[in-house]
């Protein structure tokens, strides 16, 4: 089924895709997709192994800390839902937006940003580790589910959108391997597609709001604190005396904040698009009005100070780092401890990073216990 909306001239058009990574001879289904190219990308992402792993990967709260906290999977689904709704209002390509949203966290290590930082430190001297570059590696080469080729053989537009950040040095390396590839805009300049810009903004919108909900659920943020949260606090205060209290009032305040953010994003973005656009060159066409942007930045600072750097979050981050460091050192030192598709590779450091980064929180924790006889998270809970 084609998208139900009328795509605007500013949207990416699947019928004019720059094609798939590998030639049509490897991929008859891709060659036949025509105007359904981006829908095929979306389908391949949903059916990938990497996508299913997101269910046991941490967003902020570790997976074992509670069943109702967001995981990377539920986060990705929330981003996809919000982004698809907004894509319709902005008349962007909904299938491409959904594909990018569902793929945007595929390269994350176990244990959220703590895991990525530990793995990046392990890979110092071996080219480093960055989750965004890893997302592209996952869809290009690591996913091993097709008999005819490595990776998912996604469209250029999907791959370009997945590679949302890239240093110039990394971009030059990628470009040497694939001239004209998705890294080109990081070397030559140029804005990401509007679809990619939207997913990036919505990623932040989604996690800022759901992390408040998870923060309250965990008890690290008190309901007494909500009135002081930038942006959300005003909606919370406006609900005074309206009946709902506690968690219901919080949900309503978050819902109203989200609605306000969505409306502002659509109005500000359509205004810029219809004005014809100097902002496009800077890659900031899709986004909030200056007033709301300042408030979302204040909200981010609040979350860093009160949640992401909460002593309890930092303590479990240290345990996560220890687990990742131990597993990397073990598999790097003895490649035969990894499954053959990793053990047989010439670049042992990259193979170990690929293997460890693909682990879920739960698997990494079990492997660490098996190797060392110690579960640092249990130590933490008992402390």
Give me the residues that bind Mg ion (CB under 5 A), please.
105, 203
Pick the closer one to Mg ion by CB: 17 or 59: 59
Q: Which residue is nearest to Mg ion (CB)?
A: 203
Q: Which residues contact 53 (CB under 8 A, 6 or more apart)?
A: 358, 360
| Least distance CB 177 / Mg ion (angstroms) | 26
For residue 185, which of 18, 343, 6 has the smallest C-alpha distance?
18
Taking the complex as a whole, how short is the minimal distance between the CB of residue 207 and Mg ion, in angstroms?
A: 6
Q: Which residues of 128-158 are buried (b: 16+ CB within 10 A; e: fewer)?
A: bbbbbbbbbbbbbebbeeeeebbbbbbbbbb
Closest to Mg ion by CB, 40 or 73? 73
- Report the residue number, 69 or 236, with the smaller CB distance to Mg ion: 69
**Is 3 or 58 the residue whose CB approaches Mg ion more closely?**
58
Q: Nearer to Mg ion by C-beta: 72 or 272?
A: 72
Q: Is 301 exposed, middle or buried (CB count within 10 Å of its CB: 0-12, 13-18, 19+)? A: exposed
> 85, 139 in Cβ contact below 8 A?
no
> Rg of the chain over CA atoms, in angstroms?
21
As a whole number of angstroms, the distance between CA 140 and CA 78 comes to 24
How far from the centroid of its chain's Cα atoms is residue 125's Cα? 26
Q: Which residues have C-beta within 8 Å of that of residue 281, sequence separation ≥ 6?
A: 191
Minimum CB–partner distance for residue 108 and Mg ion (Å) = 8
Q: Which two tokens stand for residue 242?
A: 């309206």
Give the nearer residue to Mg ion in terms of CB position, either 203 or 214. 203
Least gap, CB of 60 to Mg ion (angstroms): 11
Helix-strand-coil percent breakdown of the chain, rounded to 5? 70, 0, 30
Q: Which CB, 105 or 157, lies closer to Mg ion?
A: 105
């Amino acid at each position: 089924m084609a998208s139900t909306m009328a795509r605007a001239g500013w949207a990416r058009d699947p019928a004019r895709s720059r094609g798939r990574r590998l030639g049509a001879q490897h991929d008859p289904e891709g060659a036949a997709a025509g105007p359904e190219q981006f829908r095929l990308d979306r389908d391949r992402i949903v059916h990938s192994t990497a996508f299913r792993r997101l269910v046991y990967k941490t967003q902020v709260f570790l997976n074992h800390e509670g069943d109702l906290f967001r995981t990377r999977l539920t986060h990705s689904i929330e981003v996809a839902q919000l982004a698809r709704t907004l894509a319709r209002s902005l008349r962007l390509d909904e299938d491409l937006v959904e594909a990018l949203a569902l793929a945007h966290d595929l390269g994350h290590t176990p244990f959220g940003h703590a895991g990525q930082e530990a793995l990046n430190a392990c890979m110092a001297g071996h080219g480093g580790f960055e989750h965004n570059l890893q997302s592209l590696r996952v869809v290009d080469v690591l996913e091993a589910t097709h008999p005819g080729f490595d990776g998912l053989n996604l469209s250029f537009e999907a791959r370009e959108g997945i590679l949302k950040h890239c240093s110039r040095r990394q971009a030059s390396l990628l470009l040497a391997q694939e001239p004209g590839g998705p890294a080109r805009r990081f070397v030559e300049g140029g804005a990401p597609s509007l679809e990619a810009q939207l997913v990036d903004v919505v990623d932040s919108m989604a996690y800022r709001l759901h992390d408040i909900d998870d923060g309250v659920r965990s008890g690290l943020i008190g309901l007494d604190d909500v009135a002081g949260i930038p942006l959300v606090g005003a909606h919370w205060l406006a609900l005074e005396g309206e009946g709902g209290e506690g968690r219901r009032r919080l949900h309503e305040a978050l819902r109203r904040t989200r609605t306000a953010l969505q409306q502002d994003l659509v109005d500000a973005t359509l205004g810029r698009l219809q004005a014809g656009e100097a902002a496009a060159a800077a890659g900031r066409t899709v986004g909030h009005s200056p007033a709301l942007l300042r408030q979302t930045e204040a909200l981010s600072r609040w979350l860093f100070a009160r949640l992401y750097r909460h002593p309890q979050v930092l303590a479990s981050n240290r345990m996560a780092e220890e687990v990742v460091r131990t597993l990397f050192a073990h598999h790097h030192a003895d490649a035969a401890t990894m499954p053959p598709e990793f053990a047989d590779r010439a670049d042992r450091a990259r193979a170990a990073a690929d293997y460890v980064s693909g682990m879920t929180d739960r698997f990494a924790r079990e492997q660490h216990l098996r190797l060392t006889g110690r579960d640092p998270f249990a130590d933490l809970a008992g402390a």
